[in-house]
Amino acid sequence: MAQLIYLDGELVEREQAKVSVYDHGLLYGDGVFEGIRAYHGRVFRLDEHIRRLERSAHAIMLDIPLSHDELVEATVQTCRANDVDDGYIRMVVTRGVGDLGLDPHKCPKPSVFIIAANIQLYPEELYEEGLSLITCSTRRNSPSSLDPGIKSLNYLNNILAKLECTNAGVAEGIMLTNAGMVSECTGDNIFITVGNELVTPPVEAGILDGITRAAVIELARDEGIRVVEKSFPVTEVYTADECFLTGTAAELVPVVRVDARRIGDGKPGPMTKRLLNRFRELTRSEGTPIGE
């Protein structure tokens, strides 16, 4: 069966799902997006994702041509059309077609497309064995220049850091703030554990306020784990008891080595395993149904 893409109100085959070379999303990264997961026939926290998309669009004065409920229906429709019960969904709103100038007012009609497909960011054995990370030399964009809460189409900052990871032979890397504190990874939020405390950088550190991050914080508090949001240097990652990453595609993946330093005993720790199991339980019971 050919993959179908939602594009401006229609489901079209992948080969025909095209945007103009004059679209400002392509020319300037002028647009917003969300990465969303479907589990067991449900789209996980779809309303939260769409609300974040709407906040991002509002911040850059981009009018989404669909209502919240219409975006929900379009997402479910796209999953259904592609028989996606477990998979990854990419929802994108671009500024639309304009000219070669910067002025967004010359783009009269924003474009919306939604892709639903299967994805596995990390092989299952890494959830058992853990990841190795590096600290990237590419610093995270300063929030005083670009609000990290805007999930825009311009990901060059993250891509440059990702190239460092690839060249080092690792899957992910830690990005630091301009002040040298831990912010996030190239595509994931980061947590460390110290005793019975779960520590993660605050939103003010220039990170995306991740949907999976928020879910894990909720689960940790339900488990009686104290959650602390504070800035910390990478040396605190080296000396942490445990470390893990969270993200829509990654879910919750353990980290066992950073910059050649072993984290804890070099194996995924008990708090990480406990929260991963709780998160997977949550995804089996919560979400917007895909079926009719």
Question: Which of 36, 69, 34 shows the shortest CA–CA distance to 55?
Answer: 34
How confident is the model over 106-125, as pLDDT tens digits? Answer: 999 999 999 999 877 788 88
Over the range 157-179, which residues count as b (16 or more CB within 10 Å of their CB) and which as e?
bbeebbebbeeeebbbbbbbbee
How confident is the model over 146-167, as pLDDT tens digits? Answer: 888 899 999 999 999 999 999 9
Whether 100 and 153 map to the same domain: the answer is: no
Residues of the domain holding 197: 124-284
DSSP 8-class letter at 104: G
Whether 133 and 67 map to the same domain: the answer is: no
Whether 73 and 150 map to the same domain: the answer is: no
Number of domains the chain is built from: 2
Residue 27 in any domain: the answer is yes
Does the pTM surpass 0.75? The reply is: yes
Whether 44 and 161 map to the same domain: the answer is: no
Question: Which of 54, 22, 19, 48 shows the shortest CA–CA distance to 36?
Answer: 48
226-229 and 197-200 strand pairing: parallel
Of all residues in the chain, what percent are helix, strand and coil, respectively (each to 5)?
Answer: 30, 30, 40
Active site residues: 151
Whether 129 and 112 map to the same domain: the answer is: no
Residue 292 in any domain: the answer is no
Q: Domain containing 163 — which CATH number?
A: 3.20.10.10
Rounded CA separation 278/140 (Å): 30
Provide the β-strand partners of residue 92. Answer: 33, 113
Whether 34 and 175 map to the same domain: the answer is: no
Distances from the Cα of 174 to the Cα of 42, 52, 182, angstroms: 31, 24, 7
Would you say 81 and 11 are in contact if contact means Cβ atoms under 8 Å apart?
yes
Whether 112 and 142 map to the same domain: the answer is: no
Q: Give mean pLDDT in consecutive 10-residue pieces for the chain, a chain of 292 residues.
A: 94 96 98 96 97 97 98 98 95 98 97 92 88 97 90 96 98 96 97 97 91 98 97 98 96 97 97 97 94 80
